[in-house]
Structure formats: C-alpha cells, structure tokens
Amino acid sequence: MWSLWSVGSFGSLEESALSNGEVTYNRIAMLRAERGVSRRQLADALGVHYQTVGYLERGEFSPSLHLALRLSRYFEVPVEVIFSLDPFPRLGAPPNGAPANGAAGNAAAADRLA
C-alpha cells in the first residue's frame, strides 16, 4: 500500500483514502460541469495543482478540512453538498419508497400542484 502525505504542490492532502480504507464521496466533478469550470481553473482558484482536483474527484484522496471549506466557498454551497460519507443518490432517482413512474406518482404530483 502507498500513501501520500501533505505536499505543497498537492494542496495539503490527507493520507491516501485508498490506504486507510476510508471512503469520502464527492460531487466535485458534477459541480464543475454545472458551472463550466475546468480542473485547471478550479485548481488555480484553490491554489492547488490541477492533478489534485482529479485525485479528489476520483476519491483517491480526501481533502484537508481547509481545502474542503475552500471548495465549499468556491462553489457557494454547504460542504455537505460536496462531500458525504455515504454514496450520493443517483440524479433523477426517486426517493426511497417513492414510485418511479405511474399513476401513484402522477397523482401525488397533481396533488402538489393543486
């Protein structure tokens, strides 16, 4: 197993998530895509190497608390919108127990509009 500790060019990364078994899920790539921001643009704004953004997006590294808060500030969303200890639900997926389609779902939608 390998690990990488804080290195200036990597933006104060924590130990590799792969080596310590901890998994942190994130929406960095989705937020970047929504806003039309490249990895390099985000890295420049955060003061980190552009490869750091890729490592974070792929879950290969967990950010320091400071970097997580800077990401939150950059995207103007709470840190919980970006990071989670549990997988994020798929976009467009119905909430647990809710019908995906059909009359029951359409009736509920109609009730909300009424």
Domains and CATH numbers, the chain: 8-113 (1.10.260.40)
Phi and psi torsions of 22, nearest 5°: -85, 140
β-strand partners of 16: 61
Q: State the Cα–Cα distance between residues 54 and 10, nearest whole angstrom.
A: 11
Q: Look up the pTM and report it.
A: 0.65
Q: What does the pLDDT profile of the chain (114 residues) look like in tens digits? A: 233 333 333 333 444 445 567 789 999 999 999 999 999 999 999 999 999 999 999 999 899 999 999 999 999 999 999 999 999 888 776 766 665 555 444 444 445 455
For the chain, the straight-line distance linking the first and the last C-alpha, in angstroms and rounded, comes to: 58
Single-letter amino acid, residue 105: G
Q: State the Cα–Cα distance between residues 98 and 104, nearest whole angstrom.
A: 9
